[in-house]
Structure 1
Amino acid sequence: MDFSEAVEIKILHFGLRKLKPTQILVFGFAALILVGGILLNLPSASKSGQSIGFLNALFTSTSAVCVTGLVVVDTQTQFSTFGQIVIMCLIQMGGLGIMTMATLIFLLLGKKITLRERIVMQEALNQSTLSGLVKLTRHILLTTFIFEGIGAILLSIRFTQIYGISKGIYYGVFHAVSAFNNAGFDLIGGFKNFTPFVEDPIINGVIMGLIIFGGLGFTVIHDLLLKRNFKHLSLHSKVVITMTLLLLVSGFITFYCLEYSNLKTLGNLSPTGKILAAAFQSVTARTAGFNTLNLSDLTMPSKYFTIFLMFIGASPASTGGGIKTSTFAIIIMMIYTILASKEDVEIYQRRVPMDNIFKAVVIGVIALLLVFTSSFLLTITEKADFLSILFETTSAFGTVGLTLGITTELTSIGKIIIILTMFAGRVGPLTLAMALGSRINKAMIRFPEERILVG
């Protein structure tokens, strides 16, 4: 290494030391997206041997790293095996997170994790304490590879019966990684996703299982494995599990009832097929982006309900996006507390701290503003109807990947808007706001309090 290279590394190291943990996370995701875009723009990444265009490559890379699943070109027909493997790697790295992947490299190299790196890990994993972070990261990696491994084996067994051994195994691995990371990318081709397998119990069951566990959050899975008894779980785990079950069950009942007689969706399916399709739609709508039904054929109420589920999303420290199940639960309980004229927000006989409540409200408000702003801008740049645009932007923010068919028709400006929305949804609206904001010191002086009329 010559002197100039040494100076450049020193400057880079000094620059990183001055960054806040939130800024390191944001820049880390941005750098990964850029590298992915460059790789996917290579002629070797395309089946035709010609570049798909940098904006399309960047869009695909963002969608993969942000584990969204929105695509402007068909993954199976447009990308070569090299391009598809790049996408799968981006999904894996994006799903696990920048610091989890960095920790894996440090552990493999035998490098010590510094205090600053632990602080960034704490921010990345959304933890309240620094203790046990490296152990939790090891658990995250082990859990991920176990779930993906089991899913890959089960899917490979089914896919080999359809596509042959080599292609079946390849499809099994790709879709297991995509499902557990709630990405929604598929290799079925022709933008069909899993619609050809709407009544296949094995594919539906395995994909739903991977989506649910990937969306629960690594903290909850770790807590479940350690304590097992629901009564002994942390309040966070109890809230996440309760909200997940409520949303899954209510989603299934809603889709089943609304689509039961719709001949374009559930109407022509067998009784078992109706149950599978409604259940799959309930599971995938909050964060995954796979679909066994043509979403443009859904009834209007089902489309609006899907938007609602996509906005909520998955759970904290998971592979999914949205405002998160726990955030939604806190906001609902806060509303109940105000209406019931109670002083404290209480869940499972525990008081929720005020900073938790403020954070939940801020996340909800920023998310609404982000979706509204993105939708407003797309109404200017695109020719689609408002519902399709709202559906698209909510899907991008929630890193879901479901669409009513306008993704491939987006203008260049529209693609950039969706890229930014996906990015904001993946890193989190609050994390992004804190990264862009300046350091704020606690004020030494407190001003007098005065009420403002609201409502």
Structure 2
Amino acid sequence: MQIPQQPRKGKTSFSPNIISPARILVIGFASIIFLGAFLLTLPVATVDGQGLPFVDALFTATSATCVTGLVVVDTGTTFTLFGQLTILAMIQVGGLGFMTFATLVTLLLGRKISLRQRILIQESMNQINLEGMVRLVKNVVLFTFIFETAGAILLALRWSFDYDWSHALYLGIFHAISSFNNAGFDILGGFKSMTGYVSDPVINIVIMLLVISGGIGFIVIAELVELRKRKKLSMHTKVVLTASAFLILIGAFVIFSIEYNNPKTMGPLSWTGKILSAFFQSVVARTEGMNSLPIGDLHQASLFFIIILMFIGASPGSTGGGIKTTTFMTLLGAVWAMIRGEGDVVFFRQRVDEDKVYKALTITMASVLLVISVTMILCITEKQSEFLTILFETTSAFGTVGLSMGLTPHLTMFGKILLSIVMFAGRVGPLTVAFALSWDRKKRRFRYSEGKIMIG
């Protein structure tokens, strides 16, 4: 029997969602992108004094704010110091979330954080509980400062052997911020990224540690820091650490095995270079777009495997994108539970709520449909490009990774706009964008009678 819903007096279905958290997050990120795009069109932003064309500026601003790293022009040679610092600012704000900065400014002004702001922080950081949001923001800022400062110093010390101190320090700061926020932008020039340092242990290890730290999520970092006091880790942290370690190891093994004798990638490298490059590409494939091996020269099997890693992405509450490691693990857990005839998804002797399983399935299906649809459209508009190249670029945009096979600089105007939308959806989240665009999300107060359907 259907129970009719009574409308609230003086309210319409339009008004409750006008300023919903999802809508505010979408508007906030979009505002940062358009502001950054405007700044990059200014003559002072580019070396040639012409400024970027608006579509290129919009693509670059979206890539920076959504911490992706896909570029249509070379960052190191196209932009002036003003342009590069503008990109760096967008990376920092986009990586941590504009609500984190808004809350920080509010705290610095000595004002109280309202309940509305706490809800927005909870939504932007993808947290379960509302409690401790202000403390979380303070920890996020503190952890970010510590990791980025340490990374900048170590990278600057290494680059001081190749450049003068001032330039080495600038390189260290830029790449530390870019790496920790999983952005993938570099200013070494020539679209070469870290290929010139493929066997350098300092560059590789420091960047990998920054990428991993930014990709596991701030809640996980906080729990690890407080482990002595807490004496135990939550199921979320255990799942994130397990999934991250597994994906890094299996990724390094697969890439090492396939590329070992490839004369264009690992073939000429020493054993140290082969191992470092395998782990480096495995780490950055899920979250960050720097590369130490030429991506276009990898075997197709390696490229397809990297596409899978990019689609999975980083962890919730982090600076990375993708469907997230916890979503991937929840789906694996659901498959395993079904095979064993069990009713619950269980990790570390704890049950995953059924709603989370549905959410994981919804996120994955929405993401698959988005990537497939955009890939099909780009196969029509980018006629000179191969299918695998287009799929790789689209998945990289969705996962906010930034790895490229070289297609992005040659995209049509339509292709640039479409991939900008994909990067935006990948950073904010497909469900958040859907919630922001929906006007009425009321839950039914009744259930339909059960029907029968054949599965499998």
**TM-score range relative to shorter protein:** over 0.9
> Which amino acid counterpart does residue 152 of structure 1 have in structure 2?
A
Change (3 A) 1:258 1:321: same
1:344-379 alpha-carbon deviations (Å, 9 max, x no partner):
111110111001100000000000001001101101
Q: Give the alignment's TM-score, normalised by structure 2.
A: 0.95
8 Å contact from structure 1 (residues 265, 293) kept in 2: yes
Q: Give the alignment's TM-score, normalised by structure 1.
A: 0.95
Q: More helix by proportion, 1 or 2?
A: 1
8 Å contact from structure 1 (residues 184, 400) kept in 2: yes
8 Å contact from structure 1 (residues 310, 398) kept in 2: yes
How far apart are 1:391 and its partner, in Å?
Answer: 0.1
Alpha-carbon RMSD: 1.3
The structure whose RCO (Cα within 8 Å, separation 6+) is larger is 2
Whole-angstrom distance in 1 between the partners of 2:259 and 2:374: 29
Structure 1 runs not aligned, ≥5 long: 1-14
Identify the residue that residue 419 of structure 1 maps to in structure 2. 420
1:67-97 alpha-carbon deviations (Å, 9 max, x no partner):
0000000001100000000000000000000
> Which amino acid counterpart does residue 155 of structure 1 have in structure 2?
L
Give the 3-state SS of the residue equivalent to 1:239 in structure 2: helix
Give the 3-state SS of the residue equivalent to 1:19 in structure 2: coil
How far apart are 1:245 and its partner, in Å?
Answer: 0.2
Matched, 1:437 2:438: yes
Identify the residue that residue 7 of structure 1 maps to in structure 2. none
Change (3 A) 1:230 1:297: farther
Change (3 A) 1:24 1:255: same
Whole-angstrom distance in 2 between the partners of 1:257 and 1:231: 39
**Superposition map of 1:156-305 within 5 A:** 156-227=156-227, 232-305=232-305
> Which amino acid counterpart does residue 259 of structure 2 have in structure 1?
E
Identify the residue that residue 113 of structure 1 maps to in structure 2. 113
Whole-angstrom distance in 1 between the partners of 2:343 and 2:426: 32
8 Å contact from structure 1 (residues 16, 24) kept in 2: no
Give the 3-state SS of the residue equivalent to 1:161 in structure 2: coil
How far apart are 1:445 and its partner, in Å?
Answer: 2.3
Identify the residue that residue 370 of structure 1 maps to in structure 2. 370
Matched, 1:452 2:453: yes
Identify the residue that residue 351 of structure 1 maps to in structure 2. 351
Whole-angstrom distance in 1 between the partners of 2:440 and 2:160: 55
The alignment covers a number of residue pairs equal to 441
Give the 3-state SS of the residue equivalent to 1:440 in structure 2: coil
8 Å contact from structure 2 (residues 239, 326) kept in 1: yes
How far apart are 1:439 and its partner, in Å?
Answer: 2.8
1:157-197 alpha-carbon deviations (Å, 9 max, x no partner):
11121111111100000000000000000011010111111
How far apart are 1:339 and its partner, in Å?
Answer: 1.4
How far apart are 1:443 and its partner, in Å?
Answer: 2.0
What fraction of aligned residue pairs are identical, expressed as a percent? 53
**Superposition map of 1:30-49 within 5 A:** 30-49=30-49
Give the 3-state SS of the residue equivalent to 1:329 in structure 2: helix
How far apart are 1:437 and its partner, in Å?
Answer: 1.5
How far apart are 1:231 and its partner, in Å?
Answer: 7.5
8 Å contact from structure 1 (residues 230, 238) kept in 2: no
Whole-angstrom distance in 2 between the partners of 1:314 and 1:39: 30
Structure 2 runs not aligned, ≥5 long: 1-14
Whole-angstrom distance in 2 between the partners of 1:265 and 1:295: 9
Identify the residue that residue 385 of structure 2 maps to in structure 1. 384
> Which amino acid counterpart does residue 65 of structure 2 have in structure 1?
V
> Which amino acid counterpart does residue 397 of structure 1 have in structure 2?
F
Matched, 1:342 2:304: no
Whole-angstrom distance in 2 between the partners of 1:144 and 1:83: 23
Give the 3-state SS of the residue equivalent to 2:162 in structure 1: helix
Identify the residue that residue 136 of structure 1 maps to in structure 2. 136
